[in-house]
Amino acid sequence: MASLTDLINLDLSDTTEKIIAEYIWIGGSGLDIRSKGRTLPGPVTNPSKLPKWNYDGSSTGQAPGDDSEVILYPQAIFKDPFRRGNNILVICDCYTPAGEPIPTNKRYNAAKIFSHPDVVAEEPWYGIEQEYTLLQKDVKWPLGWPIGGFPGPQGPYYCAAGADKSFGRDIVDAHYKACLYAGINISGINGEVMPGQWEFQVGPTVGISSGDQVWAARYILERITEIAGVVLSFDPKPIQGDWNGAGAHTNYSTKSMRSDGGYDVIKSAIEKLGKRHKEHIAAYGEGNERRLTGRHETADINTFLWGVANRGASIRVGRETEKDGKGYFEDRRPASNMDPYVVTSMIAETTILRKP
């Protein structure tokens, strides 16, 4: 007799050409990831070949009950590491039946910015360092921490090994491999400074693909923590006190920055970012004021400063970039719960489309 595991792992290609497409979208809070599956007659690799679909927006805080239909537009396809075979994950954005983007659809405006000829010509590259915290399910306390108590102070946990220093590595490695399977350009993982906190990096990615890939990676991580019975938190300061917060440092470069003479372009871009500091901070995640205190490797939320190899700055330029006279820089301000569509497109808009 088949077990539940046997049924979950059934290879559909043995008996049918039909596949399952898991349509994924962002709910009303801007961070809640929703999804549902549908059967398609055969394999699909181009999102434009996928049918639009709909859902009940009144159940996700995105539409009133008397006019609840929201339409899903497929935008990006990834291989499904859970169902495997030809089955797929589909990143979607959301529209009214009349074809207007709903207010929580941040991808729509980002796509407009990234399709601007001046932005396309600059080929903006992104590398996003997504930090997150794993919590014990029933007590919402970090994984590996004594319930109601605290571990030893920070210091031994960053990039550490050992049962008393590293908590949740099985989840992290499962996620790493699942992202590679899915076709996400995940470039690394590491344990973070606060125990129970980890990071994965997505990039380099170009333009709108950065947001698609980060959201797909977040979805996969949500599913893996669901299987493991662990709660995933993107709160930028999950534990108050002398503990590091969680950010989403965003590494960025343009073709001009990567070319000879690029260091001057980088400095000009940083100057533009400084002039819009308040606007960027307002868009860089909820609760970020609890994280950007000027301590724990952050700059104060009200202060904009940049420096070479300075992890206490708003913008960090690497030693190699300074030495080579070209390269990339890191915006350290975004919170872990930021929307990657908003952050990546805003950086491109400020640095490429805004005139000095």
Per-residue pLDDT, 283: 98
Give the pair of three-digit tokens for residue 265.
């372009």
d(CA 146, CA 164): 11
d(CA 185, CA 187): 6
Give the pair of three-digit tokens for residue 108.
């729509």
Extract the residue ranges of the chain whose pLDDT is less than 70.
none
Q: Spell 91-114 as b/e; 16+ CB within 10 A means b.
A: bbbbbeeeeebbebbbbbebbebb
Per-residue pLDDT, 13: 87
d(CA 20, CA 162): 40
Percentages (nearest 5) of helix, strand, coil residues in the chain: 30, 25, 40
Per-residue pLDDT, 148: 87
Work out the angle between the directed axes of helices 340-348 and 106-114 (0-180°, nearest 10): 30
178: DSSP letter: H
340: DSSP letter: H
Are 331 and 250 in contact by the 8 Å Cβ rule? The answer is yes
d(CA 123, CA 117): 10
Helix (H) or strand (E) holding 218: helix 208-228
Per-residue pLDDT, 172: 98
Nearest CA to 106 out of 43, 178, 7, 30 is that of 30
Specify the 3-state DSSP secondary structure of 318: coil
How far is CA 229 from each of CA 143, 185, 222, rounded to the nearest angstrom?
A: 11, 26, 10
Per-residue pLDDT, 14: 86
Are 326 and 274 in contact by the 8 Å Cβ rule? The answer is no
Q: List CB contacts of 275: < 8 A, sequence separation 6 or more.
A: none
Specify the 3-state DSSP secondary structure of 192: coil
SS (HEC) of 14-74: HCCCCEEEEEEEECCCCCCEEEEEEEECCCCCCHHHCCCEEEEHHHCCCCCHHHCEEEEEE
Give the pair of three-digit tokens for residue 233.
């938190």
Per-residue pLDDT, 81: 97
Specify the 3-state DSSP secondary structure of 264: helix
Per-residue pLDDT, 2: 86
Backbone φ and ψ for 3, nearest 5 degrees, come out as -90, 170
> Around 120, how many Cα atoms within 13 Å sit in the side-chain half-sphere?
5
- Structure pTM? 0.97
Residues in the chain: 356
Q: Is the dihedral of CA 280, 285, 289, 291 positive or negative?
A: negative
Give the pair of three-digit tokens for residue 59.
């159940």
Give the pair of three-digit tokens for residue 140.
């919402």
d(CA 298, CA 74): 37
> Around 133, how many Cα atoms within 13 Å sit in the side-chain half-sphere?
27
Give the pair of three-digit tokens for residue 136.
């014990």
12: DSSP letter: G
